[in-house]
Amino acid sequence: MTDFARTYDVLVIGGGNAALCAAITAREAGASVLIVESAPKAFRGGNSRHTRNLRCMHDGPVLMLTDAYPEEEYWQDLLKVTGGITDERLARQTIRGSVASLPWMVEHGVRFQPSLGGTLHLSRTNAFFMGGGKALLNAYYHTAERLGIDVVYEAEVTALDIGNGEFRSAAVTHAGATHTVKAKALVAASGGFESNLEWLKEAWGPPAENFIIRGTPYNTGRVLKALIGSGAKSIGDPTQGHAVAIDARSPKFDGGIITRVDAVSLGIVVNKHGQRFYDEGEDFWPKRYAVWGRFVAQQPDQIAYSIIDSKAVGKFMPPVFPPIKANTLRELAGKLGLDPAALEETVTRFNAAVRPGTFNHAVLDDCSTVELTPPKTHWARPIDTAPFFGYPLRTGITFTYLGVVVNDKANMIMQDDKPSRNIYAAGEIMAGNILGKGYLGGFGMAIGTVFGRVAGEEAARHAKS
């Protein structure tokens, strides 16, 4: 039973993957643990609810993972997406730690399955959770319950009492009352600030009003702000977030992975004036989808439309919302609220610029446009076969990069570059140390699992010493 009056060994703020890994590890090391989760039970787990796999280094086939994914290749993949904005020591620690994560996860109830339909390209690198991230969380919460970890939902940390780098207590609001919760060590695993629209607007300006948050509405960044306000050293560009183009009809929060629209590379994308604005065929969609959120954000009213014809049907992962369908482009423009003449002119010019080639969506093929600005460099085919389809697109924020600096013990670093006495951080709140830019599928869960366990171990060690 949760007892707010008691001094716990370890207080874990957050209820996602990193938080649970930390809590379980600390409990198994003998510490008493309280998890404070701001979401109600049904929505517990932050963005981990929406995850599906963990990127895992391995030297030979293991579990469902085929072949090998050696450390160096993993590291090179990370270097590519971050453009070098990473801490190599912590990055390699994560990569190496991912190996031992798998058996630990299985021991604590997580089950794996072969890579999902449509994700064959990940079968070597990413271990998929049976049932996805929510099933993983359920397993961890069952384990936590069995181990005697106290969990309190709908409990928000509103303030932290930190002096000279030492955590003393947290103000926790729960069921209408505010409690001062003391603990010998603190693990901050409460995610980023992507669902805090005000904060996003500070970073992005008014366009942020039109952003859709793909994940939990509970990542408000309150704890992150409190830590930075209490002297934690921050890392990561506050104006940067992982932004993808998603279906404009998605709910404001929590639409998850299913709101993605993978049709972009198979057609054209126009803005509200019916104009194209970027090369839709620049690279394979999984590599490019994370840049399109930014492109859409830069368009007027932060909206765009992916237009395909019937040749593209069945060639991409089915999105959750059916496309808007019409027998002519004029009719489609009308249904999408675009100027029919403008859309028709854009498509006519695009079609005239398409050079004949051999269409192959599996390679960077030779179907491209000539003398067109912007060009479409691959998979360019005339949009001429009715019916035509359109998906409205908006910017969808997955996560933010701003976080607190940690060392290899997940120990939070203060502005004087000294480690805090008893504060540890894990998961998205410190992922910016390792992932300063870009994204690598399943890497967030690797960071959360590896640093969650380190944070739990170190916090317990500190509390017991």
Of 142, 273, 287, 418, which one interacts with other proteins (CB under 8 A)?
A: 142
- Interacting positions 338-367 with other proteins (CB under 8 A): 362
Of 9, 36, 38, 49, which one interacts with other proteins (CB under 8 A)?
A: 49
79 binds other proteins (CB under 8 A): no
Identity of the residue, 131 or 387, whose beta carbon is nearer to other proteins in the bound complex: 131
Give min distance, CB of 313 to other proteins, in A. Answer: 8
Of 316, 379, 399, 443, which one interacts with other proteins (CB under 8 A)?
A: 316
Which is nearest to 25 in space by CA: 458, 464, 456, 460?
456
Name every residue whose Cβ is closer than 8 Å to that of residue 270 and which is 6 or more positions away in sequence: 276, 277, 304, 305, 307, 338, 343, 346
206 binds other proteins (CB under 8 A): no
Give min distance, CB of 167 to other proteins, in A. Answer: 32
Assigned token pair, 85: 């904005």
Q: Which long-range contacts (CB under 8 A, 24 or more apart) does 236-239 make?
A: 236/400, 236/401, 236/402, 236/403, 236/432, 236/433, 236/436, 237/401, 237/402, 237/436, 237/437, 238/202, 238/203, 238/400, 238/401, 238/402, 239/203, 239/204
Q: How far is CA 327 from the centre of its chain?
A: 37
Which is nearest to 145 in space by CA: 106, 108, 188?
108
Identity of the residue, 262 or 279, whose beta carbon is nearer to other proteins in the bound complex: 262
Identity of the residue, 177 or 362, whose beta carbon is nearer to other proteins in the bound complex: 362
Identity of the residue, 306 or 369, whose beta carbon is nearer to other proteins in the bound complex: 306
Of 321, 325, 330, 364, which one interacts with other proteins (CB under 8 A)?
A: 321
318 binds other proteins (CB under 8 A): yes
Q: In whole angstroms, how far apart are CA 414 and each of 89, 185, 230, 407, 419?
A: 19, 16, 9, 11, 6
- Binding mask of the shown chain, residues 99 to 128, with x at each position contacting other proteins by CB under 8 A: ------------x-xx-xxx-xx-------
Residue ranges binding other proteins (CB under 8 A): 42-43, 49-50, 52, 111, 113-114, 116-118, 120-121, 129-135, 138, 142, 251, 254, 256-258, 260, 262, 313-322, 362
